[in-house]
Structure 1
Amino acid sequence: MEPNWLPPLRQQLSLRKKGGDRLCSLKWSSDGGLILTLLSGDPLRTLTKVGRDATFQELKQKLLRELNVEDRHLSFLRGAEPVGLDERIGELNGVVLQQQEVPLSEDGFSLLPYQRSAVEYALQRAGRVLLGHEMGLGKTVIALAVCANYRQDWPVLVVAPTVLLNQWSDEIQRWLPDVPAEGIQVIRKVMHMKNKQKVPVEIRPTAQFVLVSYGLVVGQMQRKGVANGTGGQSNGHLRVAADGQPYRTVIIDEAHALKDFKTQRTKTLIPILHTATRAILMTGTPLANSSAGDILPLMAAVIGNRIRLPPLDKWCTHFCAENRAFNTGYRTINRWTGVCKEHEDKLSELLRLFMVRRTKEEVLAELPPKRRLKVHLELTPSEMGPVAKQQQLVSDFEKAAKERPEGGDEIDSLPSHEIMKIFKLLAEAKQTAVCDWLHTSFFDEQAGVKTKVLIFAHHKCVHDKLAEFFRKQLGEGSCGDLWVHITGDTSPNERNRQLTTFKSADGCRFAVLALTACNTGLNLDIADTCIFAELCWTPSALNQAESRIHRMGQQASRVLVYYLVAGGRGSPDEIMFNALARKSETASRVVDQEKDHPSALRESQLLTPKRKRRSNDLDDAGETPEPKPKRPARRQP
């Protein structure tokens, strides 16, 4: 049974969905309200504070606010003739309301058909939209094309991860050449020196696009002695335009960062988006954690306070699969997870009412196929010993926690870092096996592979081991020439230099990248092989990383993605891989409406190479032949 808040929410959202010409009949109700009804018979809404003595101009102004549409797109007709706006409403006499087709400003943009369709979708919703296209399909140019239609609402605030700010600046200059270089201001720090004193960075009055990172727009000044302020002052001056007025157009890149109402970034940015007239959110992974709870904050950000939304607990009770208890190490918390299968269709329907999305399979027939391969790394018992011991410790703790009587003391016997220690130990255990596999696959004389390769890792110990491995294989001074290494600590200038080298130098074949710092915003279609030395719990992070190479511009005949999974059944890697497959399937059903479609992770081919063996040791099916039994040792006399 549907909750009572769902039908009106669906109805109000559907008003934003209607494109093209829309006609509504107008009539007076018995209690004096003005009823607007779609010609399909569906009621639109009732206006109670409009009288017969009001003019059509007054009615139009009220409807502009109520329907969130543009002045030039709304008119009244009597028959085929327009109604004068200074005419009084009176008895209406066959007057209908027309919401006209939204014209699309080309503005020099060369858009592909699916991109033009997305721009039209956004304009039909007055520039408030979630662009959910898969990574690599040009969400940036779509957002800029939408902005080009609303120049009266500039300057534009663009909030994006730090590593994407330079890319945004380049794309603005490419697609909007009439915007001068001084019209783009990239905010890289909060403070600067002025008259030998540290003062807040000011927004230039000439700035038409202001680019700022999540950290700066949300954070606070921590330094003491700030002019005209004190330590800990809010970065509020970065959240308004140079004249102190709210931004009327706001773009949020990687918008899945707003998936939780409780985070500071969501608390800060949603009011900014509510105040703005245009709000363009961009994410290729709207269901980042495969939880229905991720959708409501994005909906709240896009539609603003124009539509009343249900409380989060009611939303999650209806759409989520379960309210699951998690042990943090200090206490037990409840978290809504998954999507209720019974309501997947309804959630997908609501999502489509404020999100436009295309997948690569839908629009890029010429894109090369992506082939995923699961590589089972063989670890020795001594390597897996510390991991198994830590897993047993956590298992014993969870068992004891479940046996605690209700109302007992809070769980405080196992700090949370002990749980995360499993993954650190696994990283240490598999790092040598990872390097052995890389040596066999890319450096043996018979490997014969001359492609460009991305290698994603997370823990510092794995990065250090990979760096040691490549220095040994390619030479001590080879980093930056024959291979590149980018982590979260790499400076922006050094990062750009290394990326340029990787893309332009034929001899630079390998890029070792941080999974969390380099999985978004980079165009590395020069490579055709992607390797995950480590996994993570979030499918969207892996999809984002894969899309660095599987995107428009890829010229290879196929793209290869390797998942290096260590240990056997029950290992942390295996558990995580299976969990990723389940989450990926849920996201596909809700976001892409793919029913009964197995996760691409489940369809990945399984390879089980032996340590220190060459690639020709694999049989035709990709499996390693069973080793021959060892000859018994000779007895000593």
Structure 2
Amino acid sequence: MTTSLENFGTLEYVQDKYSKLWCWKITGKLAIDKISSLSSKAWYGENENEVIIEDSTDSIKQLKLLMDRFPLEILSKTVWQRKIVKTYAPKPTLPPIKHKLKRAKPGEQFRGKLMNFQKEGLDFLLKSSGNALLADEMGLGKTVQTLSYVSTEKQTFPVLIVAPLVTLNNWEREIEKFLKKKSRNGRILESNSPSVTLIRTGKSKELPKTDIYVINYELLLKRSGDLEQVGIRTIVCDEVHNLRSKTTQKYKAVKKLAALPTVQYRIGLSGTPIYNRGSEIWPIIDILKPGLLGSFKEFCEYFCYVNDKGKAIVLENKRASLRNELQKHVMLRRKKADVLKELKDKVRYKEVIASDTDYYLEELDKIWKKLEDEQKEAQTEFSKSASYHRAIQSERQIAGVAKLPHVINFVKNIMEIEESVVVFCHHKVIHKLLHESLQEFSPVSIIGGQTDSTRQDQIDKFQKGESKLMIAGIRAGNVGINLTKAKYVIFAELDWSPAIHRQAEDRLHRIGQKNTVFAYYLIGNGTLDDHVASILVDKSYEIDAIMDETVDTYENKDKAALILAQIQDKIHSK
């Protein structure tokens, strides 16, 4: 049998012709010479340059030692991987975290109320000494649990929060909402929040002394030198799966900062921390709890096999044991179904995302000038009202365009968890752009102008699971359809009428829905979305309490005049 230039022979699991025992057959002159010098329990095979070695733990170790220096082509890969896993099973050296969690009470610096399962999350973080992976499913409040921890554990400040760019403003808002300021003499200042420095530039300069620093992954390497000087004690990595490759600059930057002598606490947050590729979980754990999974080589030898492309893939029969190892020592993961009794049957979130404010303000200027001209020329109250209406609809459309790239990114993040998702939008141009940009998910659509048969065909494909993504016009898809296949609904644009949103949500939240429905309202930062959201969301983010029971179109002249006055303010402050 011929071998590749990279291999010195072959290795195959065979049944010995004479003893009828299963053994290992090795071919290749150099390989035979080497294994013969390592093992006394080897004998010649039927052909020249062929040797048989017994199947035992010692033999596996000897073969492994040989192959580290002289690679063999493995012809029985599945058997070899099974034998290697069994032979090199690691021995845990760290005491496991207790599984029974109490409902911990957050410290005086925390403002707000935790659900019971979130109190258990706080207890987990306290028992793990703040070196942990919080891997709750999306929507269970990993942010608030983390903030409750930094307000409860001793000497956690200054805190460094590293997160995706689109989440930085949300972190800033959540800090202000949930944390109280603590003075130097230890007194709690009820009406104040901790000082926050939002780092938005890569230019190196001395950072001010603040309680919390917030930065996105892409800038971290450029500012790591400045951050090394401020005495960071806690590092929080949001969406920590961004660090799943140990060759990236952001991983190297976080690894370096996490190793600083001042850093005592390292927390990773992600609803999707474990991917199919085994090598991707190791860098994350290496930052949070170095040594838990051994060296990268040891980790791969035990948990993984290498595919044809040279990637380390977690063995199917080792995925459960890897998850258990993580849960014993570093990871807490709860699914929505685990804590369903504490959740409302419909949970809504206001999510602030970035937007292209330069484009938005430039287009607003054009809208305002056109409106002023139309108002001067209008001869009737009807004409003036229609003019206001057109201006408002134009503003809504440019707000949708301004935040579109970040809406697409948000949808893709949700799709990573392999759940069915419905995205509602308002304008046809936004619908078209979403459909084009998310083609990788083969979306189905509901939009005005479809025939009844086409519309029903799209619904049926979604309900049968043939497509996991539905893009629907909020007024075309808000009534008369059943989308219970999904439990996630995303509002890429906001309608003026709360009743429209309620009806759209209820396409998912209806008889036949077995899961809690999670609705995400995406607010474009720097646009008038905030004003629209104030109609839909109260100050405490408890959206359930503010949805209007009566239909209010918000399209009369007085309301429109108020909105356009705000547009004018924005233009003048440009």
TM-score normalized by the length of structure 2: 0.47
TM-score normalized by the length of structure 1: 0.43
Task: Name the one with the larger helix percent.
Answer: 2
